């Protein structure tokens, strides 16, 4: 029954860290273990005393007081009944927390979308400063929406704002190096900034990382290599692009340029 006393100690520790849900979950484990009927004599008295103490602590919390005005009830031998009361209340609290979390996530994602739309409209109106501020506000809400940085970076690139685009797209690749669109946009940005060697290095890294590169990546790699003065690399990439899509006018034009 060592585990029961360990869980009681953990429950008390969680309480003093103001983590009431974990307090209740760990307390419930201890009660289940203590209700097995294997505690006797001094151990039973110690267990009863510690359970009583935690019940008194929980009865001070809003999580218990608002739902159970009379608080949790306990006396020695009533571990099963107390276990059921704690678990029932815990499940309701967890359901409430989940609903709140889902609502917060929906609101956050909606706010990100609104900021992206407003920022894009500012870009279309040539209001770069306002657009950058809105995009910065959108990324301040970022949690796990990795594609956000690719979207913003690409829109800045298309608007000719190459330096801020570089920052966003570099971050996009750092967050998700399996996103080919991020690699392509980052390379296009380097080329726009007259940095073909950086574009080439990034695309070669992406080629290895992605495993199955697309025609678009092969074409851009060839173009970057050509601008960097690496004709052999450019021709090899163009040949690969032609192999993947021999009917593509874009690929045929590229191969003709590299002859």
Structural element, H or E, at residue 15: helix 2-16
Q: Which residues contact 159 (CB under 8 A, 6 or more apart)?
A: 123, 128, 131
Has residue 29 been placed in a domain?
yes
Has residue 80 been placed in a domain?
yes
Same domain flag for 27 and 91: yes
Higher-confidence residue: 44 or 137?
A: 137
Question: What's the gap between Cα 67 and its chain centre?
Answer: 34
Same domain flag for 80 and 14: yes
Has residue 63 been placed in a domain?
yes
- Domain, as residue range, for 47: 2-100
Has residue 91 been placed in a domain?
yes
Q: Which residues contact 242 (CB under 8 A, 6 or more apart)?
A: 248, 251, 252, 255
pLDDT tens-digit series, residues 126-172: 999 999 999 999 999 998 888 999 999 999 999 999 999 999 999 99
Has residue 105 been placed in a domain?
no
Same domain flag for 91 and 20: yes
Same domain flag for 9 and 90: yes
Same domain flag for 13 and 96: yes
Asked if 190 and 198 touch (Cβ cutoff 8 Å), the reply is yes
Number of domains in the chain: 2
Has residue 203 been placed in a domain?
yes
pLDDT tens-digit series, residues 51-65: 999 999 999 998 998
pLDDT tens-digit series, residues 81-106: 999 999 999 999 998 888 888 888 89
Q: Which residues contact 168 (CB under 8 A, 6 or more apart)?
A: 135, 139, 149, 150, 152, 153, 156
Last residue of a domain, one of 213, 231, 249: 213
Has residue 243 been placed in a domain?
no
Cβ atoms < 10 Å from Cβ of 10? 17
Give the chain's length. Answer: 259
Asked if 167 and 189 touch (Cβ cutoff 8 Å), the reply is no
pLDDT at 109 over 90: yes
Cα angle vertex 166, ends 165, 169, to 5°?
Answer: 80
Same domain flag for 96 and 151: no
Say what the pLDDT of residue 209 is: 84
Euclidean distance between CA atoms 65 and 67, whole angstroms: 6
Say what the pLDDT of residue 243 is: 87
Q: The whole model's pTM is what? A: 0.66
CATH number at 204 reads: 1.25.40.10
Same domain flag for 84 and 162: no
Same domain flag for 89 and 159: no
Has residue 14 been placed in a domain?
yes
Same domain flag for 33 and 94: yes
Same domain flag for 13 and 88: yes
- Cα distances from 215 to residues 62, 102, 129, 144, 229, in angstroms, run 60, 40, 35, 29, 21
Euclidean distance between CA atoms 57 and 85, whole angstroms: 15
Last residue of a domain, one of 65, 82, 100: 100
Please report which confidence band the pLDDT of residue 43 belongs to, taking 50, 70 and 90 as the band edges: confident
Same domain flag for 9 and 81: yes
Cα angle vertex 85, ends 27, 9, to 5°?
Answer: 10
Asked if 125 and 117 touch (Cβ cutoff 8 Å), the reply is no
Helix ranges, 125-229 (H): 128-140, 147-158, 162-175, 180-192, 196-210, 215-227
Asked if 164 and 138 touch (Cβ cutoff 8 Å), the reply is no
Read off the tokens for 204: 């070669």
């Amino acid at each position: 029954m060592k585990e029961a006393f360990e869980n009681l100690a953990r429950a008390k520790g969680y309480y003093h860290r103001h983590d009431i849900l974990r307090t209740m979950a760990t307390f419930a484990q201890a009660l289940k273990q203590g209700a097995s009927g294997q505690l006797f004599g001094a151990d039973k008295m110690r267990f009863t005393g510690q359970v009583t103490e935690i019940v008194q602590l929980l009865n001070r919390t809003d999580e218990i007081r608002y739902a159970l005005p009379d608080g949790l009830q306990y006396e020695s031998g009533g571990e099963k009944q107390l276990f059921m009361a704690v678990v029932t209340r815990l499940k309701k609290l967890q359901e409430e927390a989940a609903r709140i979390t889902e609502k917060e996530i929906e609101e956050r994602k909606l706010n990100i979308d609104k900021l992206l739309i407003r920022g894009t409209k500012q870009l279309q109106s040539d209001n770069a400063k306002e657009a950058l501020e809105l995009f910065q506000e959108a990324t301040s809400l970022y949690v796990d929406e990795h594609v956000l940085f690719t979207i913003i970076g690409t829109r800045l690139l298309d608007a000719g704002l190459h330096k801020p685009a570089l920052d966003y797209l570099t971050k996009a690749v750092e967050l998700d190096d399996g996103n080919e669109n991020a690699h392509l946009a980052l390379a296009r940005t380097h080329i726009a900034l007259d940095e073909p060697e950086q574009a080439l290095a990034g695309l070669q890294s992406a080629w290895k990382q992605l495993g199955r590169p697309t025609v678009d990546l092969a074409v851009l790699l060839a173009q970057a290599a050509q601008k960097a003065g690496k004709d052999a690399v450019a021709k090899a990439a163009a040949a690969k692009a032609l192999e993947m899509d021999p009917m593509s006018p874009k690929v045929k034009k590229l191969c003709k340029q590299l002859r």
